[in-house]
């Protein structure tokens, strides 16, 4: 039996006005639809939700969101208090540390009450007044969503190439601005990803996407031209293309990258019309990246080195026979990146799950490691636009130390604190961090990072917020989140499980949690939760879990496997309809991600994905309280994934705990672009978690 959801939506809204909690949640219609693959027939009764043009679809999503808002209306006071807390911890009027590029210092700043940043610069010599390059507040007027991606200034400082998305769907339009006059140039381009200026200050290389959101072509645009020249196209749908310029400024690089295989082309930045040449032809399983200095290319390669090694080769002789090894492969160290300067090489590595930087003096060959004071932390290179310098710009933070920007002298080893994030009312001495390891079922040691208020009693009484991701070789952030202070101040232990599938312990850690070994990701997370409970950090009744995107897949799977282990779950843009998604090659990201999840057109891959897919494995059993945040314009996890999962979960679960779906009709995969709207969303989700954990408000 079917019905018009709009009538239900009206029912939900009127009921919400009469009571503190709505009387009944929306119920999605069930439309018989079966899928048969490899002789296996599965029901997909909510497949109709994929049809965005069906008015019942939008009505259902609106009804779910109205129900979530009406359900949370009882916590309106808590939401407002939380919003004021969160807002009170940010410096609404602030400016970033300027970085030098050419004759100018570039920075961005924010103003109280305005939701977006303002990008500016000042001339260095002679010192000049502030020039506003882009006021995103003005550009965002009339748009419910606004985000900038590319921001590239030509060498002479006269032209700015920038790209913006106004849909939330990661669909960026490229614009060119004359910074001498402030006028936009007439040319603009659609569906743009990376951009890079050539050395002639009038030629721009840029990459564009196809209908499946795959970056597949690189174009050359010459100032004033109506038509652009195709420089390179990768027809292999497993690959995306990227374009950038070397830090030396002498070369432009074009990379084709799949999950396991890569290929780099190069052309002189001073000769942008030249034909790109291949540095190393693609070979299955060979991934490499390239940078330049002097007469050498520096190649980070996994050839014979799962955790990568570094070699150098003459720019005109890049075959393996010409390689000179600079850094050998090491079993316990992942070589993640290298950055070249005129006299120094900065090596970014991951060891024991932590980011470490080593500086090599290319004149003397001497090396030293940059040390950091805390047990675990997040550190990254900031904007380093100058080539001939001994100063390295770093950004350092930890769960208890706000983001701090340093200049580090690579010769004298001195560091100067330039700026630390201001967090009004925050006292770092009130909190502590801890790193421990949990034994997985197969004997693997899973790192766990904890932060909590000092004086924690390990008697199981403390609430906990456990986060996880575990995919793509990505490493969860160990940085500072001012919003988390609202949890810490309420006695919540904030924990991160560094499960397999991530890159915490190198590429072998990633390999141990993908493809046919993907179940390790989920059993690792369960092992961590069980261990933290057994060690008295929390209890089942006090444990909240969170995951976003592929982390939402993690949470959705463990909820099916062990719903008894958790009290409440929060999911953002969750990848929960994995099997149907990976069976549809027309969708964005599907084909390139076969190397992460498997290709279910192969029977053995189909069986593995079916084993853990959250939507496929929803059961008639009790589940924890669940809140799902999603977005209609999400181009990475399509809106119907969380919508279908919630619909099936609501129909099958046997408990009466709340299940809420909030669908943002204006945003994309990363949520609201307006910083104030984002804080409102955080307050909304925190209020749900705090209430379900029974915290005193």
Q: Tell me which residues are annotated as active site.
A: 549, 634, 669
Token readout for 592 is: 């390139």
Closest CA to 312 of 299, 295, 302, 303: 299
What whole-number distance in Å separates Cα of residue 514 and Cα of residue 646? 25
What DSSP element (H or E) covers 77?
helix 76-88
Q: What share of the chain is helix, strand, coil (3-state, %, to 5)?
A: 25, 35, 45
| Nearest C-alpha neighbor of 382 from the set 412, 401, 405 | 405
Distances (CA, A) of 502 to 256, 477, 592, 604: 22, 11, 18, 23
Distance CA 663, CA 609 (A): 26
Q: 124-132 long-range contacts, Cβ below 8 Å, gap at least 24?
A: 124/100, 131/179
Q: Which residues contact 179 (CB under 8 A, 6 or more apart)?
A: 131, 133, 153, 157, 158, 159, 160
Secondary structure of residue 401 in the 3-state scheme: coil
CA dist., res. 233 & res. 209, Å (int): 11
Nearest by Cα to 593 from 238, 297, 345, 71: 238
**Are 582 and 597 a contacting pair, CB within 8 Å?**
yes
CA distances (Å), 213 to each of 461, 550, 640, 665, 673, in order? 47, 18, 17, 20, 20
Residue 498: partners with Cβ closer than 8 Å, 6 or more residues away? 353, 446, 447, 448, 449, 475, 476, 504, 505
Collect all residues with Cβ–Cβ distance below 8 Å to 330 and sequence separation of at least 6.
307
Strands (E), 22-116: 34-37, 40-43, 94-95, 99-101, 104-110
HSE, side-chain direction, 13 A CA sphere, residue 166:
11
Asked if 211 and 589 count as a contact pair (C-beta separation under 8 A), the reply is no
Residue from 547, 662, 668 nearest 79 by CA: 662
Are residues 666 and 168 in contact, defined by beta-carbon separation less than 8 angstroms? yes
Alpha-carbon span 562 to 570, nearest angstrom: 15
């Amino acid at each position: 039996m079917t019905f018009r959801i709009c009538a239900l939506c009206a029912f939900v809204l009127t009921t919400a006005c009469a009571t503190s909690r709505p009387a009944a949640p929306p119920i999605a219609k069930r439309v018989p639809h079966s899928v048969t693959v490899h002789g296996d027939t599965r029901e997909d009764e909510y497949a109709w939700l994929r049809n965005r043009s069906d008015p019942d679809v939008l009505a259902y999503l609106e009804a779910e969101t109205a129900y979530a808002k009406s359900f949370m209306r009882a916590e309106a006071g808590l939401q407002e208090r939380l919003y004021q807390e969160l807002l009170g911890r940010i410096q609404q009027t602030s400016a970033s540390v300027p970085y030098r590029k050419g004759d100018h210092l570039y920075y961005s700043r924010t103003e109280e009450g305005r939701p977006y940043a303002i990008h500016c610069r000042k001339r260095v010599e002679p010192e000049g007044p502030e020039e506003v390059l882009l006021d995103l507040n003005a550009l965002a007027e009339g748009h419910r969503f606004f985000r900038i991606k590319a921001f590239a200034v030509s060498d002479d400082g006269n032209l700015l190439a920038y790209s913006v998305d106004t849909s939330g769907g990661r669909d960026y339009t490229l614009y060119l601005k004359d910074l001498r006059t402030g006028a936009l140039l007439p040319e603009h381009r659609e569906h743009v990803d990376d951009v890079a200026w050539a050395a002639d200050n009038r030629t721009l290389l840029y990459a564009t996407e196809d209908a499946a959101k795959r970056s597949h072509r690189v174009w050359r645009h010459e100032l004033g031209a109506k038509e652009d020249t195709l420089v390179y196209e990768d027809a292999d749908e497993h690959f995306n293309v990227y374009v950038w310029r070397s830090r030396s400024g002498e070369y432009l690089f074009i990379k084709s990258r799949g999950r396991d295989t890569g290929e780099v082309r190069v052309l002189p930045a001073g000769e942008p019309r030249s034909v790109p040449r291949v540095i190393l032809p693609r070979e299955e399983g060979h991934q490499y990246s390239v940078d330049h200095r002097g007469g050498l290319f520096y190649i980070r390669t996994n050839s014979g080195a799962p955790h990568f090694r570094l070699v150098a080769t003459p720019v005109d002789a890049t075959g393996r026979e010409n390689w000179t090894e600079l850094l050998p492969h090491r079993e316990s160290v992942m070589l993640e990146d290298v950055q070249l300067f005129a006299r120094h090489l900065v090596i970014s590595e991951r060891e024991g799950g932590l980011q470490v930087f080593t500086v090599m003096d290319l004149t003397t060959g001497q090396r030293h490691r940059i040390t950091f004071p805390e047990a675990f932390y997040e550190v990254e290179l900031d904007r380093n636009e100058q080539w001939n310098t001994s100063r390295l710009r770093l950004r350092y933070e930890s769960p208890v130390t706000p983001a701090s920007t340093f200049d580090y002298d690579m010769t004298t080893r001195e560091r100067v604190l330039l700026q630390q994030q201001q967090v009004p009312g925050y006292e770092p001495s009130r909190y502590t961090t801890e790193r421990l390891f949990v034994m997985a079922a197969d004997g693997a040691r899973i790192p766990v990072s904890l932060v909590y208020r000092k004086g924690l009693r390990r008697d199981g009484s403390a609430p906990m917020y456990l986060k996880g991701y575990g995919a793509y070789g990505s490493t969860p952030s160990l940085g500072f989140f001012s919003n988390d202070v609202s949890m810490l101040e309420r006695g919540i232990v904030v924990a991160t499980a560094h499960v397999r599938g991530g890159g915490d312990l190198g590429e072998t850690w990633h390999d141990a949690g993908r493809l046919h070994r993907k179940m390790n990701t989920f059993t690792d997370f369960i092992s961590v939760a069980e261990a933290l409970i057994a060690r008295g950090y929390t209890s089942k009744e006090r444990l909240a879990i969170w995951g976003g995107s592929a982390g939402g897949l993690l949470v959705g799977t463990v909820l099916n496997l062990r719903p008894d282990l958790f009290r409440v779950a929060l999911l953002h843009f969750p990848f929960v309809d994995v099997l149907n998604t990976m069976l549809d090659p027309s969708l964005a990201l599907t084909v390139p991600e076969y190397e992460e999840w498997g290709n279910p057109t192969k029977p053995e891959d189909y069986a593995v994905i079916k084993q853990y897919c959250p939507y496929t494995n929803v059961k008639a059993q009790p589940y924890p309280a669940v809140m799902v945040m999603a977005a209609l314009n999400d181009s990475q996890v399509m809106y119907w994934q969380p919508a279908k999962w919630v619909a099936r979960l609501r129909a099958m679960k046997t408990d009466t705990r709340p299940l809420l779906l909030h669908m943002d009709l204006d945003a994309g995969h990363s949520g609201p672009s307006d910083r104030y709207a984002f804080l409102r969303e955080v307050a909304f989700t925190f209020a749900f978690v705090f209430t379900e954990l029974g915290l005193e408000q």
